[in-house]
Chains A and B, each alone.
Chain A
Amino acid sequence: MTPAPFVALRKPLPRRQFLRGTGVALALPMLDAMRPVLADEKPADTPRRMLAVCNNLGFLETGFFPAAAGKDYALSPYLSILKEHRQDFTVFSGVSHPDVDGSHATEVCFLTAAPHPGNGGFRNSISLDQHMSEYIGVKTRFPSLTLGVNVVKGQRSLTFTGSGVMIPCEDSASSVYRRLFLQGSEAEIERQIARLKLGQSIMDSVATHATGLERNLGAKDRERLDQYVTGVRELEKRLVLAKDWERRPKPTTKAREPKDPDSSREYMEKTRLMYEMARLALESDSTRLITLFLDSTNSPAIELGEVKITDGYHNLSHHGKNESKLAQLEAIDKWHMKLLSEMLGKMKTTKEGGDTLLDRSMVLYGSNFGDANKHTNTNMPILLAGGGFRHGQHLAFDTKRNYPLPNLFVSMLQRMGIESSKFATSTGTMRGLELKG
């Protein structure tokens, strides 16, 4: 393929770009990296973040979904593992992406909601994190991170750019760590700076060109060209900021570089490490946007402590009501909840301003499958934690005629401070989800 285009330099972490670290990062307090980088962002502006996780085999419905709706719902068996966070998340039922069908094929649409991934002529569209990144990506060193566990290399990801390019998942936790905390090589930094400078000089040049053309135009036409100049200057500003990041020392951390598990059977350990990396990335404000794709379909019979797993994860999901398989799946599902609970707990212990890290981070967790055994893509299991919403509720919608999940994405965009009234097939904002007072 072609070398990375100018702007793609500011795109998520490319896979397998191991850094030959030239030494340990300069000592710099983490919060210093959090100072606002956009002139129009007031210091008082609260940083907003997102971590979106998809497990492409979903969960057993009976374990996941609570029976009753509303604030006083009784936690389901799985959610009771999250009970200490009850007030910090909302669980949804009866939601799905409209017209997103085609069983496994839908995994690439979890964050895009592009219709009919199975059909001929399918083209994916921009994912939620990239939509956000086009606005806030410039505020951090990495506009976004695309992470994965056991992912089929280069073929599956939750992240698609506005140009329709799939960003491959980074599946090594140690590589993420090095990227976050170790300085890049001088040559690499120089190369990136040169390219960003070029983008900047192109923008400066075309803006001046436009100003020259404006002289011959009437007022109405000039207004249109002014809009072009504004867009150009805004991009130029962003390229300058991006360039600044290259010279700014990376933050330090007390966390040690993790050792990547050797086998894809260590699925849960890999997942735990990626949660840890995601948390560190958010905490150090290295990025505010992370997607994590748990490719369960591509996972073998996984290791799960005391519980003996007899079959590959995908095979288990086709349980056909076999009791042994159901029991194993339930054990796996619960382990997932345990890891999620641990991460949410840690995010609550990190403070920023008067808030916890979780208050400022929307953690979207779910699956493209409502029921992987039957391959249904409706009634998706979805949970949103943190982010400063009024949680502690079960928003239950019609399980026969689902409520559009893209509406939740619109609410999340707005929470991010982005003035969007639409995302993919949304019809509004998520009904019943309100901001914390």
Chain B
Amino acid sequence: MLNQKCTGCHQGKTPAAGIDLQSLAFQLDDTHINGLWVRAHDAVEKGMMPLGAKLTAAERDAFLKSLGEPLIAHERQRAKERGRAVLRRLNRYEYENTVRDLLGAPWLPLRDQLPEDGIVARFNKSGQGLEVSHVQMARYLEAAEQAIRLVLDATGAKPQSGRYYARDQGPMIRRMKFGPFNNHPERATIPLLGFDAQPEVIAETAPMSVGPKDPKTRELEAFATTASTYTGNEMHFDGFTAPVGGRYRIRVNSFSIWAHTEYLPAAGDKKLKAWRPTRKKTSVGRGKEPVTLYALSKAKEKRLLGSFDVTPEPAVQEIEAYLLPGEQIMPDASRLFRSRPGWTGNPDATEAGTPGVAYRWMEVEGPLLTPAARDGYRQLFGNLTAKRDEKGRLTAVAGKEADAEGLMREFVRRAYRRPPQEAEIQRYLGIARAQMQPASGILEGMIAGYTAVLCSPAFLYLEEQPGVLSSEALASRLSYFLWNTAPDADLRGLGTKLRQPEVLRAQARRLLADARSRDFTNAFLDYWLDLRKLGDTTPDQVLYPEAYLDDLLVESSLQETQLFFRDLVNRNLPAANLVDAKFTMLNSHLARHYGLPPVDGVALRPVDLPPGSARGGLLTQASILKITANGTTTSPVLRGVWILERILGDPPPPPPPGVPAVEPDTRGATTIRQQLDQHRSNPSCAGCHARIDPPGFALENFDVVGAWRERYRSTEEGEAVQGFGKNGFAFAFRQGPPVDASGKLATGQAFRDVTELKRALLKDERQIARNLVRQLIAYATGSPAGFADRAEVERILTTTEKDRYAVRTLMEKIIESPLFTQK
């Protein structure tokens, strides 16, 4: 049949699609050639080929069989000999979690110390992509030793607690006084007593604080801000610096206020009048304000710790978080505006006043003696006596030769995910012995030996042998799938019992039910949906001034998607929810962003969507809509490709080389649809773009940050819009042409908008589930589902059909499948 129906086009100097079937060898060991034959198979199976010739069902089946059988046989043989997946090292997510567990220090910062991992089949889980170079090794060597020393430093710290009054904090005091770089009242702090401003403190006719001699009054002193914390307007508590890494309890006494305004000129520009806080009069707040806490490093890096709501009534908010040595705490009243130089107005300020947040004090307690922190030393040095310097840092450990051997034996046992060989223990004990110094006992030697273990291949690589996995390898696969870390003691303790299907299933359920399965959700979504790239683009300052600099929106939308997917697993909901759901995860900021009925507070929770809402499912979540845009414009092509690849599992072929991307016009003269129509009038483009563009068009109702729009925004044409951005700049964008989100899928189904698109996509729930299963297989096994694995994928789907492909059940079926239990 090949000769009759295919090689007419697919041969010669310029074969169709660049595929010359006449001279294409049947060399299935060659990945590229193998892929071409699979493409040929699929094109015929889907009826896309042969062009212009109709095959009888018998002809078609015969062809598919004659091509499919050797493809399957070849792949199965290869899997039998070497396994579906190739040997791989831990990726940097796994490395971080594994070392944290081993050293009992969940706060250790390790992921970012290693080079980025390579990606194969969309995930950082394949041996082909997880490379090692001397740079990688140098980073392992450095990271491992540093981690061990950080942990040992932390084990000697005594928990302490202290209260840090806002009125004693240098950065807050400095922002109260006007100077050459601080002469705008909205960027200055306001001293308060109770709810009332203290202009006398600003004027320095009254002391900064009554101090400890008058604790009652001191308790009522505060510093308020009417702006969000940002470059040029930074404030943080510099009274407390985390002495060591560990878990800390942070309590903040704060409340919302209302600052009175006057129509005042700016200090630097007398003509520029705006509603500004007078800093002379304040009163009780008019509602809740969200506050985000960041850990601020010396190098001004900011790690998100958590967020809470402050109320008009002063109250103490408490969060527990991990801090690294040297970090300080920076609160940010995240909803308020972030004035940038050149601003002309505050979007929050009116004649009636402007909202603000006031801080009285912060208390920090820690490092808390969590079980892990208590065990940190014992796990490395057992019951041996430690000598410490005046700062609590370890200087020596008294121990004998036999102690060292016992400790090393135990460390290697825990570090390796299979029983260690005696030679392995002796090897690293040798390193330790050579480094023992009289002054520090066995301390330096053991640190060196432990470091070596953490750089060793049996720690860094996941060992698997072809065929059915050993119980140790199976425990590792399960644990790195569902927790992204090494198996815990329970899992390791099961031994060969784990290979019994009901035991395996029970363990899968236990792991998934545990809070640590969050590490699966977040790592899986980081790659499947590219959530790790959420912060890569910025909303354009001119076109999206309300979203530019809105960190709370980015943080909330990341959590929405993570919590949403987690909920599908926890409640075992049908896979179709990925495309459309009756609920989503919201807080007040997201609800406002989506134009939904108000939700109270900054914490995200499941909220039922009102009937008729366009939201629901991944496609309408702000995170996805931001990731698929570039901050300035949206492209139906890019979003269409994204839906085909990530949600429908039907990726289009890569674009032909040399074709420039369509550049959306932000001047407002033409719409993207008009531009693409032109593009598609070219028949060589039309084939693929008829499939790619329509689902992307349905998302045109969502702008670059996922807000609903019925008109495009433009920089030149259209009506002007009044208002101020989060940066204080007057709106300069205009209302551009209307959005047309209608289209027709390649299947012929027409839709008017995203709601109808979702309905059309849901006609084939199995395809949505099939894609999810394939993504999960690539993630869980380190190898994408191949041609020969298709039957097994279909079997998994069929067994879960009656549950409408419930997500957790799908995961359990994958775990029970030979795809998972064999290498």
A residues bordering B, Cβ < 8 Å?
A: 1-3, 5-8, 99, 101-105, 108, 115-124, 134-135, 154-155, 157, 160, 162-164, 166, 198-199, 201-203, 205-206, 208-210, 212-213, 216-221, 224-225, 227-228, 230-232, 234-235, 238, 311-312, 314-315, 318, 320, 374-375
Are A121 and B304 also in contact (CB < 8 A) when A205-B431, A218-B466, A231-B132 are?
yes
Chain A residues near B145: list those with CB within 8 A. 5-6
Q: How far is the CA of A209 from the CA of B461 in the complex (A)?
A: 12
Q: B351 on the interface (CB 8 Å rule)?
A: no
Report how far A70 CA is from B434 CA in the complex, Å.
63
Interchain CB contact under 8 A, A227 and B142: no
Q: Tell me the complex Cα distance, A212–B232, Å.
A: 58
Task: Specify which chain B residues have a CB less than 8 angstroms from the CB of A115 in the assembled complex.
Answer: 535-536, 538
Question: Are B427 and A117 touching (Cβ within 8 A)?
Answer: no
A1 to B115, CA, bound (A): 23
Find residues 46-69 in chain B having any chain A CB closer than 8 Å to their own CB.
none
Contact at A103–B461, with CB atoms within 8 Å?
no
Residues of A within 8 A of B112 (CB): 123, 163-164
> Can you list 19 A-B pairs with a CB-CB distance of less than 8 A?
A3-B149, A5-B141, A5-B145, A7-B141, A101-B538, A118-B549, A119-B302, A119-B549, A121-B302, A122-B300, A134-B138, A202-B431, A203-B137, A205-B430, A213-B461, A220-B82, A221-B82, A227-B131, A231-B136
Known: A116-B535, A155-B299, A320-B268. 17 other contacts (CB 8 A): A2-B146, A3-B149, A6-B142, A103-B231, A105-B300, A118-B231, A123-B112, A123-B301, A134-B135, A198-B434, A198-B435, A205-B452, A213-B458, A218-B82, A220-B87, A232-B132, A232-B137
On whether A166 and B457 interact (CB within 8 A), knowing A218-B81, A221-B87, the answer reads no
Q: Which residue of chain A has the shortest Cβ distance to B453 in the bound complex?
A: A206
* Interchain CB contact under 8 A, A164 and B132: no
B231 touches A224 (CB 8 A): no
The residue of chain A having its C-beta at the shortest distance from the C-beta of B631 within the complex is A99
Q: How far is the CB of A229 from chain B (nearest CB, A)?
A: 8
Partner of B115, one of A2, A8, A162, A312: A162
| Minimum C-beta distance from B474 to chain A (A) | 17
Bound CA–CA A411/B301 (angstroms):
28
Which residues of the other chain, A, contact B326 by a CB distance below 8 angstroms?
Answer: 1
Chain A neighbourhood of B424, CB < 8 A: 209
Chain A residues closer than 8 Å to B802, beta-carbon distance: none
Is B332 positioned at the interface, with any CB of A under 8 Å from its CB?
yes
Question: A434 → chain B, closest Cβ, in Å?
Answer: 23
Give the docked Cα–Cα distance between A231 and B461 (Å). 14
Answer yes or no: B314 CB below 8 A from chain A CBs. no
Bound CA span A232–B326, Å = 32
Instruction: Tell me, rounded to whole Å, the shortest Cβ–Cβ distance linking A4 to chain B.
Output: 9
Q: Which of B146-181 contact A (CB under 8 A)?
A: 146, 149-150, 153, 180-181
Bound CA span A34–B180, Å: 50
Contacts of A230 in B (CB 8 A): 132
Give B527-564 interface residues, CB cut-off 8 Å to A: 535-538, 549, 551, 555
Q: Are B87 and A225 interface neighbours, CB within 8 A?
A: yes
Which of A2, A120, A203 is the one whose CB lies under 8 Å from B149?
A: A2
Q: Is the CB of A120 within 8 A of B551?
A: yes
Q: Tell whether, in the assembled complex, residue B465 and residue A216 are in contact, meaning their CB atoms are under 8 Å apart.
A: yes
Complex-state Cα separation, A315 to B83, whole angstroms:
67
Q: Mark B282-312, 1 if CB is under 8 A from A, else 0.
A: 0000000000101000111111100000000
B181 in contact with A224 (CB, 8 Å): no
Residues of A within 8 A of B667 (CB): none
Give which listed residue, B135, B150, B428, B538, contacts A205 with CB less than 8 A: B428
Indicate if the CB atoms of B456 and A206 lie closer than 8 Å: yes
Do A120 and B299 touch (CB < 8 A)?
no
**Contact residues, B454-509 vs A (CB, 8 A):** 455-458, 460-461, 463, 465-466
The distance in angstroms between the C-alpha atoms of A219 and B466, with both chains bound, is 12
Minimum distance in angstroms from B626 CB to a CB of chain A: 13
Say if the beta carbon of B93 comes within 8 Å of chain A.
no
B341 touches A374 (CB 8 A): yes
Q: How far is the CB of B426 from chain A (nearest CB, A)?
A: 11
Question: Which of B142, B232, B535 has the most chain A CB atoms inside 10 A of its CB?
Answer: B142
B340 near A: Cβ within 8 Å?
yes
A124 contacts which of B138, B230, B301 (Cβ < 8 Å)? B301
Q: Across the interface, which residues of B come within 8 angstroms of A108, CB to CB?
A: 299-300
* Per-residue interface assignment for chain B, residues 78 to 115, with 1 indicating a CB less than 8 Å from any chain A CB and 0 otherwise: 00011100111100000000000000000001001101
Rounded to whole angstroms, the CA-CA distance of A6 and B149 in the bound complex is: 12
Give the Cβ gap from B658 to chain A, nearest Cβ, in Å.
15
Q: Are A374 and B136 in contact (CB under 8 A)?
A: no
Asked if B113 contacts A166 (CB within 8 A), the reply is no
Asked if A235 contacts B141 (CB within 8 A), the reply is yes
- From A121, A208, A217, name the one whose CB has the most chain B CB atoms within 10 angstroms: A121
Task: Check if B431 sits within 8 Å of A162, measured CB to CB.
Answer: no
- The answer for the CA separation of A74 and B562 in the assembled complex, in Å, is 56
Look across to chain A and name the residue whose beta carbon is closest to the beta carbon of B112.
A164
- A7 vs B428: C-alpha distance in the bound complex, in angstroms? 19
CB-CB under 8 A from A5, the residues of chain B are 141-142, 145-146, 149
Instruction: Verify if B342 is at the interface (C-beta below 8 Å from A).
Output: yes
In the complex formed, the residue of A with least CB distance to B444 is A198
Q: Say yes or no: is B521 at the interface (Cβ < 8 Å to chain A).
A: no
Asked if B143 CB lies within 8 Å of chain A CBs, one says yes
Q: Which of B423-457 contact A (CB under 8 A)?
A: 423-424, 427-428, 430-431, 434-435, 448, 451-452, 455-457
Contacts of A101 in B (CB 8 A): 538
Evaluate contact between A162 and B294: CB separation under 8 angstroms: no
Report B208 CB to chain A, min CB distance, Å: 24
User: Is B127 among interface residues, defined by CB-CB distance under 8 A?
Assistant: yes
A124 to B299, CA, bound (A): 9
- A422 CB to nearest chain B CB (Å): 10
A158 to chain B, nearest CB (A): 12
Q: Is the CB of B431 within 8 A of A201?
A: yes
B141 touches A202 (CB 8 A): yes
B133 contacts the other chain (CB 8 A):
yes
Tell me, in angstroms, the Cα distance from A412 to B326 when the chains sit together: 35
B139 touches A120 (CB 8 A): no
The answer on a CB contact under 8 Å between A225 and B461 is yes
- Beta-carbon contact of A155 and B300 below 8 Å: yes
Contact between chains at B134 and A224 (CB < 8 Å): no
Q: Which of B292, B341, B451 contacts A375 (CB 8 A)?
A: B341
Shortest beta-carbon contacts, A-B, top 9: A234-B134, A221-B87, A2-B149, A163-B113, A166-B299, A120-B551, A235-B134, A210-B457, A118-B231
- Which residue from B131, B325, B430, B448 sits with its C-beta under 8 Å from A198? B448
A203 and B140 CA atoms in complex are apart in Å by: 11
Q: Specify which chain B residues have a CB less than 8 angstroms from the CB of A210 in the assembled complex.
A: 456-457
Contact A209 B456 (CB under 8 A): yes
Chain A residue numbers with a CB within 8 Å of B127 are: 221, 224
Please name the residue on chain B nearest to A222 by beta carbon: B87
Q: Which residue of A3, A122, A212, A217 is within 8 Å of B302 (Cβ)?
A: A122
Residue from the list B232, B427, B458, B551 in contact with A103, Cβ < 8 A:
B232
Name A217's closest neighbour in chain B (CB-CB). Answer: B87
- The CA-CA distance from A35 to B599 in the complex, in Å, is 69
Which A residues lie within 8 Å of B460 (CB)?
228
In the complex with contacts A120-B551, A120-B555, A155-B452 CB distance below 8 A: no
Point out the residues of chain B lying under 8 angstroms from A228, CB to CB. 89, 132, 457, 460-461
